[in-house]
């Protein structure tokens, strides 16, 4: 049987099993909108899927049933017992057909016209006669009753009728093993006269048993399906184990060395491995959820007469199967939407000057512990005009409100219920079971969805979801003396506000905002949001913490220290003011007790390593509480070519204080983490400060000789390369800025590359290499500063091609300190693009081992006859610098070949190569 | 533990006597999981005032409900809530801790001696009481813990 059909059967089976109970509940609570919505969606899904699989009978029944449910949902039809039985009847019919498919692989034959007539009858607004429901054309299958009851006993049955009955009954009594004699009845020739009821029953039942036997292998040939529940429970238990371990470790730390230390370390390791193992069993490539999309798109394009090309990348990206399961339907829905509403017909496309074939691209990748899935189409995009109209029609917003909204805000309306802009209700989509459900489902799993659309150009949906639901990483913050957890998924950055920092909070008529780089960020104090200033709720907190709580907003803004969590939800950014920020912690989300579940600001609660209970904040809830209108758009600005070029040269720098007045800066990409250690945890080994960090001993270096450590805690920049880490102790971390790095003059001081003007302020750029060298002798050889600056080399342009950001960021400042203008790219392909754009350089320094295209191939291309760069000197930079490598490099067209770690040699060679080139040019 | 408690076999039921203000209440022993002394709770801002917060009981999260506040009874421990006692019960797989003023003895009381609530009983009390015992020196209101938690959950969801 077709895999797709098999999958459909499994899914439908699950859906139907749920439906029975739901409909019965509906009868009891006819006004439960959520329930109606749920039933409607299940039927809608069945209908939608079987449309693609080519199951017309099933589709018809589901479609008509859905019509009636739609009226329930729109509340223009009251849910009565009659209607419920009618719906149940159609469900039974659906089950009957589904079971028929399960056995034979194709739809069983049968006549549904009576049922359909009744459904249409109701749909058109007439009352079903009681008599009609009393004698349904096909009896429900879930009891002993067989369709035979309704067949007049003494009637003549044609062979066709009997055959149909056989088939229906096959479905009914699959698995019925009580039949003694199993023999295939001979096909009756013409017409058989059926006399006694019992005998016919027996006759009919023979076949089912045989059929069931035949069907059995189909059901078992599938791979072993482990119950989700089992995996779920396993994961929960492991999560609990992890929590307990964390508590144990924390306790053990306070006691210092004891006989528990060793077993605990073992336990620690085993638990970590166990956790990893269990996580792995739950991981599946995202491609498995995409499997049926090409087919859906193909069928869709045939049905709608469109040409659609579905491009998928990143199928191998793995994520938790539970998450995968939950995003499967939303994804299918969105891809279908893109095909149905997004892509235009070939004629329309040609008319607007696009290629007749539309492209839907699906892309999945990891980003910062989350999975990003992008669904983009190059279709007609969202029509703000239509959405605006619909918003007015549906009374979600007034014309005046809409006037004031930006394009992007208006587009967000498609995430509201009942917002399909398709003008026609088709079998494909357009009933308003739509983006609202998609968004709800995605938010349910702690993800968010963002939308960008340009009318006429296409739409892009970006879904950001956590890798796994069981354990999330969260930032622990404090407000009014109590801690809360903020899921890391929506935290973009942290900003510290103090008197001497660059950032400051301002108020516009009482509402706080923050100038952050080039945007204005609306702020909300978590204190106000949680109303923890309310004296009744926090009486005792107040007693301990008086001055913190009685101050007004104005005062609060003036008070010296605040932290702002810059959060990003969907396409909105906003800042949340908190009192303190602690560490990030891996937490296990536990659901809230039902008496608290009405509080939208919380996503759950958890127990921290120290045993205390903590509430987990829900970023979506906070965003809603702030009111979407109040938020800034962070629409991507149209960056023109020049700016892009500039932006490439801009790098993010971390600024900090260490000694003296001048701020220090280091390229952010070199820093792997920022940490704050307790002084008590810092140990000394061999005359050097060290700390146990992530199961390793990490050397801690003072910024300079006379550096004074903090009193209680010490802020540390952690550098990590090739599995080794090093911590640089600094006084305090200030900010992250983005600017072009032009080192104006070199410093004679060890550890400093030189000074640069960054964001209009002079800063010392530190030489990470120096510290790495100090931390471990073999990292780099100590650099002898080349103090003689060669005036001729200024404004010579060097292009660095290296896939490793570490080296890119090492080399760029290192070369620019010697007066070169440096541009770095992360691969040969990008470099070749620049070549095609006609950019010229005086020297190309390229890595050899790179993905996509290695250095030798790159050199080949550059040295080809028609290349504009064929005379540009090239230097290879590689960690392998044996004689063979060097000769191979020279053969490929490199002028020089330098080992990556040999920095002195590198500079010399750069100088040499450039001057050689010059002399060649002169000569 | 199940929501339904079997009373059928014996004709006596055991109750834990707890005090709120000067009123005695009886909680069927079978629904009780734990009795704890005053615990440090994590506040839950925005929740109804009766909810004191949540706490960690052997790795499970317990929601603490201040019964005095709920029943509008003046607590005995208004100046020192470290004397508070918590009765932990399970309801629909979640744990709740009912904060009371004092915990007394366990009493075994015959089922046929329970009397209906007097019609004049305070409505808040009436809702959570499944009857009254006349003890020698005082009246004991039997707390219908499950019914109470049911209605509390429903209220909140609605």
- Closest Cα of chain A to B46: distance in Å? 6
Q: Is residue B6 part of a domain?
A: no
Chain A residue closest in CA terms to B152: A595
Asked if A530 and B45 come within 8 Å (Cβ–Cβ), the reply is yes
Rounded distance, CA A177 to CA A212, Å? 9
Q: Which residues, at least 6 apart from A125, have a Cβ–Cβ distance to it below 8 Å?
A: A77
- Closest Cα of chain B to A534: distance in Å? 9
- Closest Cα of chain A to B147: distance in Å? 14
Q: Is residue B7 part of a domain?
A: no
Q: How confident is the model at residue B54 (pLDDT cuts 50, 70, 90)?
A: very high
Q: How does pLDDT run across A665-695, given as a tens digit for each residue?
A: 887 777 777 788 888 888 887 777 888 877 7
- Name the average pLDDT for chain B: 84
Chain B partners within 8 Å of A240 (Cβ): 59
Query: Domains of chain A (ranges plus CATH)?
Result: 3-220 (1.20.120.160), 228-281 (1.10.287), 285-466 (3.30.565.10), 475-633 (2.30.30.40), 638-785 (2.40.50.180), 788-923 (3.40.50.2300)
Rounded distance, CA B40 to CA A774, Å? 48
Rounded distance, CA B19 to CA B37, Å? 14
Domain span at residue B119 reads 12-157
Lowest mean pLDDT among A360-364, A442-446, A858-862, B10-14: A442-446
Asked if B43 and A538 come within 8 Å (Cβ–Cβ), the reply is yes
Q: Is residue B1 part of a domain?
A: no
In DSSP terms, A674 is beta-bridged to A717
Which of B43, B49, B157 comes nearest A597 by C-beta?
A: B157
The predicted pLDDT at position A726 comes to 81
Asked if A613 and B46 come within 8 Å (Cβ–Cβ), the reply is no
Size of interface A-B (CB pairs under 8 A): 75
Chain A partners within 8 Å of B152 (Cβ): 595
The predicted pLDDT at position B40 comes to 83
Q: How does pLDDT run across A384-408, given as a tens digit for each residue?
A: 787 888 778 777 777 777 777 777 7
Chain B residue closest in CA terms to A614: B42
Q: What H or E segment, with its residue span, contains residue A120?
A: helix A113-123
SS3 readout for A260-278 = CHHHHHHHHHHHHHHHHHH
Please choose, from the candidates A291, A341, A333, the residue with its C-alpha nearest in 3D space to the C-alpha of residue A312.
A291
Chain B partners within 8 Å of A244 (Cβ): 59
Chain A residue closest in CA terms to B158: A598
Please choose, from the candidates A670, A569, A578, A583, the residue with its C-alpha nearest in 3D space to the C-alpha of residue A625.
A569
Q: What are phi and psi of A616, to 5 degrees?
A: -100, 125
Asked if A596 and B63 come within 8 Å (Cβ–Cβ), the reply is yes
Are A855 and A878 in contact by the 8 Å Cβ rule? The answer is yes
Asked if A605 and B157 come within 8 Å (Cβ–Cβ), the reply is no
Chain B residue closest in CA terms to A590: B61
Q: How does pLDDT run across A259-282, given as a tens digit for each residue?
A: 888 888 888 888 888 887 887 777
Q: What H or E segment, with its residue span, contains residue B89?
A: strand B85-91
Neighbour order of strands in the sheet with A663-667: A732-740, A650-657, A663-667, A761-766, A752-758, A743-746
Does pLDDT of A710 surpass 80?
no
What single DSSP character describes residue A481? T
User: What is the bridge-based pairing of β-strands A602-607 and A613-617?
Assistant: antiparallel
Q: How does pLDDT run across A551-570, given as a tens digit for each residue?
A: 444 444 445 567 889 988 77
Residues A19-44 have a mean pLDDT of: 76
Are B46 and A531 in contact by the 8 Å Cβ rule? The answer is yes
Chain B partners within 8 Å of A621 (Cβ): none
Asked if B63 and A611 come within 8 Å (Cβ–Cβ), the reply is no
Chain A partners within 8 Å of B46 (Cβ): 530-531, 599, 601
Provide residues of A within 8 Å CB-CB of chain B.
240, 243-244, 482, 530-532, 536-538, 541, 590, 593-599, 601-602, 605-607, 611-615
Neighbour order of strands in the sheet with B12-20: B102-110, B12-20, B23-28, B139-143, B129-134
Q: Which residues, at least 6 apart from A116, have a Cβ–Cβ distance to it below 8 Å?
A: A60, A61, A64
* A466-505: burial string, b at 16+ Cβ within 10 Å, e else: bbbbbbbbbbbbebbbbbbbbbbbbbeebbebeeeebbeb
Chain A partners within 8 Å of B149 (Cβ): 595
Rounded distance, CA A105 to CA A64, Å? 23
Chain A touched by B47 (CB under 8 Å): yes
Lowest mean pLDDT among A122-131, A351-360, A504-513, A514-523: A122-131
Asked if B44 and A599 come within 8 Å (Cβ–Cβ), the reply is yes
Neighbour order of strands in the sheet with B60-66: B32-37, B85-91, B94-100, B60-66, B51-57
Of all residues in chain B, what percent carry a pLDDT higher than 70?
91
Which of B40, B59, B156 comes nearest A594 by C-beta?
A: B156
Which of A530, A607, A611 comes nearest B46 by C-beta?
A: A530
Which of B41, B45, B57, B155 best probes binding to A when mutated, by most A CB atoms within 10 angstroms?
B45
Chain A touched by B3 (CB under 8 Å): no
Rounded distance, CA A369 to CA B75, Å? 49
Asked if A595 and B51 come within 8 Å (Cβ–Cβ), the reply is yes
The predicted pLDDT at position B25 comes to 92
Chain B residue closest in CA terms to A595: B153
- Closest Cα of chain B to A449: distance in Å? 27
Chain A partners within 8 Å of B153 (Cβ): 594-595
Chain A touched by B61 (CB under 8 Å): yes
Residue position matching structure tokens 């370390």 = A265
Chain B residue closest in CA terms to A237: B59
In DSSP terms, B54 is beta-bridged to B42, B63
Rounded distance, CA A653 to CA A745, Å? 18
- Closest Cα of chain A to B102: distance in Å? 22
Of all residues in chain A, what percent carry a pLDDT higher than 90?
1
Q: Is residue B31 part of a domain?
A: yes
Residues A78-86 have a mean pLDDT of: 76
CATH of the domain at B17: 2.40.50.180
Residues A177-194 have a mean pLDDT of: 41
Chain A touched by B78 (CB under 8 Å): no
Chain A touched by B8 (CB under 8 Å): no
Rounded distance, CA A777 to CA A724, Å? 12
In DSSP terms, A721 is beta-bridged to A724
Q: Is residue B2 part of a domain?
A: no
Neighbour-count burial of A394, counting CB atoms closer than 10 A to its CB (0-12 exposed, 13-18 middle, 19+ buried) = middle
Which of A593, A611, A616 best probes binding to B when mutated, by most B CB atoms within 10 angstroms?
A593
More confident residue, A631 or B66: B66
Lowest mean pLDDT among A145-154, A511-520, A656-665: A145-154
Q: How does pLDDT run across A336-353, given as a tens digit for each residue?
A: 888 888 888 888 888 888
DSSP string, A637-700: P---HHHHHHHHHEEEEEEEE-SSSSEEEEEGGGEEEEEEEEGGG-EEETTEEEEEETTEEEEE
Rounded distance, CA A580 to CA A567, Å? 16
Does pLDDT of A189 surpass 80?
no
Neighbour-count burial of A22, counting CB atoms closer than 10 A to its CB (0-12 exposed, 13-18 middle, 19+ buried) = middle
Neighbour order of strands in the sheet with A602-607: A580-588, A471-479, A482-487, A613-617, A602-607
Which of B40, B44, B97 best probes binding to A when mutated, by most A CB atoms within 10 angstroms?
B44
SS3 readout for A338-390 = HHHHHCCCHHHHHHCCCCCCEEEEEEEEEECCEEEEEEEECCCCCCHHHHHHH
Chain B partners within 8 Å of A615 (Cβ): 42, 44, 54
Q: How does pLDDT run across A151-183, given as a tens digit for each residue?
A: 444 444 445 554 554 554 454 444 443 333 344
Q: Is residue B54 part of a domain?
A: yes
The predicted pLDDT at position A208 comes to 43
- Name the average pLDDT for chain A: 72
Please choose, from the candidates A96, A106, A8, the residue with its C-alpha nearest in 3D space to the C-alpha of residue A52.
A8
Q: How does pLDDT run across A836-887, given as a tens digit for each residue?
A: 887 788 888 888 777 778 888 888 888 887 788 878 888 887 766 677 777 8
Asked if B42 and A615 come within 8 Å (Cβ–Cβ), the reply is yes
Rounded distance, CA A64 to CA A70, Å? 10
Asked if B45 and A531 come within 8 Å (Cβ–Cβ), the reply is yes
The predicted pLDDT at position A3 comes to 67
Query: Which of the listed ranges A94-103, A507-516, A817-826 does the model predict with the highest average pLDDT?
Result: A94-103
Q: Is residue B3 part of a domain?
A: no
Report how many domains make up chain B: 1
ipTM of this complex prediction, to 2 decimal places: 0.85
Does pLDDT of A616 surpass 70?
yes
The predicted pLDDT at position A627 comes to 65
* Coil, helix or strand at residue B90: strand
Query: How many alpha carbons fall within 13 Å on the CB side of residue A482?
Result: 28
User: What is the bridge-based pairing of β-strands A683-685 and A688-693?
Assistant: antiparallel
Chain B partners within 8 Å of A612 (Cβ): 40, 42, 56
Alpha carbon A499 to its chain's center: 37
Does pLDDT of B27 surpass 90?
yes
Are A771 and A752 in contact by the 8 Å Cβ rule? The answer is no
């Amino acid at each position: 049987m077709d895999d797709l059909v098999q999958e459909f059967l499994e899914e439908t089976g699950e859906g139907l099993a749920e439906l029975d109970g739901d409909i019965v509940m509906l009868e009891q609570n006819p006004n439960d909108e959520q329930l109606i919505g749920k039933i409607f969606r299940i039927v809608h899904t069945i209908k939608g899927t079987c449309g693609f699989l080519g199951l017309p009978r099933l589709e018809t029944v589901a479609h008509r049933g859905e019509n009636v449910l739609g009226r329930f949902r729109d509340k223009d039809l009251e849910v009565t017992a009659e209607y419920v039985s009618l719906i149940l009847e159609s469900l039974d019919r659906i089950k009957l057909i589904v079971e028929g498919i399960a056995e034979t692989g194709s739809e069983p034959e049968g006549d549904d016209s009576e049922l359909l007539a009744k459904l249409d009858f109701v749909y058109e607004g007439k009352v079903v006669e009681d008599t009609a429901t009393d004698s349904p054309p096909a009896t429900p299958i879930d009891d002993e009753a067989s369709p035979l009851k309704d067949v007049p006993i003494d009637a003549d049955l044609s062979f066709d009728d009997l055959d149909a009955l056989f088939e229906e009954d096959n479905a009914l009594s699959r698995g019925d093993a009580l039949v003694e004699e199993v023999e295939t009845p001979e096909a009756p020739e013409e017409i058989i006269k059926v006399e006694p009821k019992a005998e016919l029953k027996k006759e009919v039942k023979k076949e089912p048993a045989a059929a069931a036997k035949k069907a059995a292998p189909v059901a078992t040939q599938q791979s072993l399906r482990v119950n989700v529940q089992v995996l779920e429970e396993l994961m929960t238990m492991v999560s609990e184990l992890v929590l307990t371990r964390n508590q144990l470790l924390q306790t053990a730390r306070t006691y210092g060395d004891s006989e528990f230390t060793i077993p605990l370390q073992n336990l620690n390791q085993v638990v970590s491995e166990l956790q990893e193992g269990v996580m792995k069993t739950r991981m599946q490539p995202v491609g498995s959820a995409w499997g049926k999309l090409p087919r859906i798109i193909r069928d869709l394009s045939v049905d709608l007469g469109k040409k659609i090309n579905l491009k998928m990348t990143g199928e191998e990206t793995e994520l938790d199967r539970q998450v995968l399961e939950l995003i499967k339907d939303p994804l299918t829905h969105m891809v279908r939407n893109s095909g149905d509403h997004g892509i235009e017909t070939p004629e329309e496309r040609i008319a607007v000057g696009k290629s007749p074939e539309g492209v839907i691209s699906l892309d999945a990748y990891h980003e910062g512990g989350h999975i990003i899935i992008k669904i983009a189409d190059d279709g007609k995009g969202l029509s703000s005009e239509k959405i605006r109209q619909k918003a007015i029609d549906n009374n979600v917003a007034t014309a005046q409100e809409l006037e004031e909204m930006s394009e992007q805000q208006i587009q967000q309306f498609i995430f509201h219920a009942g917002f399909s802009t398709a003008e026609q209700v088709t079998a494909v989509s357009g009933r308003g079971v739509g983006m609202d459900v998609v968004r709800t489902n995605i938010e349910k799993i702690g993800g968010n969805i963002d939308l960008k659309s340009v009318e006429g150009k296409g739409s892009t949906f970006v879904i950001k979801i956590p890798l796994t639901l069981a354990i999330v990483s969260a930032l622990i913050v404090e407000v009014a003396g109590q801690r809360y957890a903020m899921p890391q998924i929506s935290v973009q950055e942290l900003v510290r506000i103090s008197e001497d920092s660059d950032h400051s909070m301002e108020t516009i008529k009482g509402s706080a905002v923050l100038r952050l780089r080039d945007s204005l960020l609306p702020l909300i104090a978590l204190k106000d949001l949680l109303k923890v200033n309310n004296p009744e709720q926090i009486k005792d907190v107040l007693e301990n913490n008086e001055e913190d709580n009685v101050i007004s907003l104005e005062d609060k803004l003036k008070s010296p220290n605040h932290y702002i969590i810059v959060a990003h939800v969907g396409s909105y950014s906003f800042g949340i003011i908190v009192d303190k920020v602690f560490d990030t912690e891996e937490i296990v989300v536990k659901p809230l007790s039902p008496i608290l579940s009405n509080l939208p600001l919380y996503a759950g609660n958890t127990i921290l390593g120290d045993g205390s209970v903590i509430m987990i904040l829900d970023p979506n809830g906070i965003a809603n509480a702030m009111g979407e209108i109040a938020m800034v758009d962070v629409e991507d600005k149209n960056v023109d070519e020049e700016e892009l070029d500039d932006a490439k040269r801009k790098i993010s720098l971390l600024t900090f204080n260490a000694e003296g007045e001048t701020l220090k800066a280091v390229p952010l990409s070199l820093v792997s983490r920022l940490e704050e250690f307790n002084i008590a945890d810092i140990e000394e080994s061999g005359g050097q400060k060290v700390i146990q960090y992530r199961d390793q001993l990490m050397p801690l270096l003072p910024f300079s000789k006379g550096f004074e450590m903090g009193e209680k805690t010490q802020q540390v920049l952690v550098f990590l390369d090739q599995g080794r880490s090093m911590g640089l102790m600094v006084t305090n971390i200030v900010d992250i800025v983005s600017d072009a790095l032009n080192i104006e003059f070199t410093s004679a001081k060890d550890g400093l590359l030189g000074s640069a003007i960054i964001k209009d302020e002079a800063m010392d750029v530190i030489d990470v290499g120096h510290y790495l060298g100090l931390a471990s002798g073999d990292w780099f050889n100590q650099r002898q500063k080349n103090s003689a600056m060669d005036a001729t080399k200024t404004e010579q342009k060097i292009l660095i091609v290296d896939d490793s950001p570490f080296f890119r960021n090492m080399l760029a400042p290192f070369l620019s300190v010697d007066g070169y203008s440096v541009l770095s790219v992360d691969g040969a392909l990008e470099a070749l693009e620049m070549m095609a754009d006609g950019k010229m350089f005086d020297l190309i320094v390229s890595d050899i081992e790179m993905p996509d295209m290695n250095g030798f191939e790159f050199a080949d291309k550059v040295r080809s006859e028609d290349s504009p760069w064929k005379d540009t000197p090239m230097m290879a930079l590689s960690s392998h610098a044996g004689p063979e490598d060097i000769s191979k490099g020279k053969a490929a067209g490199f002028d020089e070949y330098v080992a990556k770690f040999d920095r002195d040699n590198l500079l010399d060679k750069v100088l040499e190569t450039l001057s050689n080139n010059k002399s060649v040019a002169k000569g | 533990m199940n929501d339904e408690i079997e009373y059928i076999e014996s004709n006596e039921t055991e109750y834990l006597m707890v005090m709120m203000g000067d009123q005695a209440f009886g909680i069927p022993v079978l629904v009780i999981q734990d009795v704890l002394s005053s615990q440090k709770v994590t506040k839950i801002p925005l929740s109804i005032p009766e909810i004191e917060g949540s706490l960690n009981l052997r790795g499970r999260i317990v929601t603490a409900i201040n019964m005095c506040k709920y029943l509008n009874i003046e607590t005995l421990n208004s100046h020192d809530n470290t004397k508070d006692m918590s009765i932990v019960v399970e309801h629909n797989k979640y744990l709740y801790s009912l904060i009371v003023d004092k915990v007394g003895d366990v009493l075994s009381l015959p089922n046929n001696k329970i009397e209906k609530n007097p019609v004049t009983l305070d409505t808040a009390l009436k809702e959570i009481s499944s009857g009254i015992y006349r003890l020698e020196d005082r009246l004991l209101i039997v707390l219908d813990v499950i019914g109470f938690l049911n209605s509390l959950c429903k209220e909140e969801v609605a």
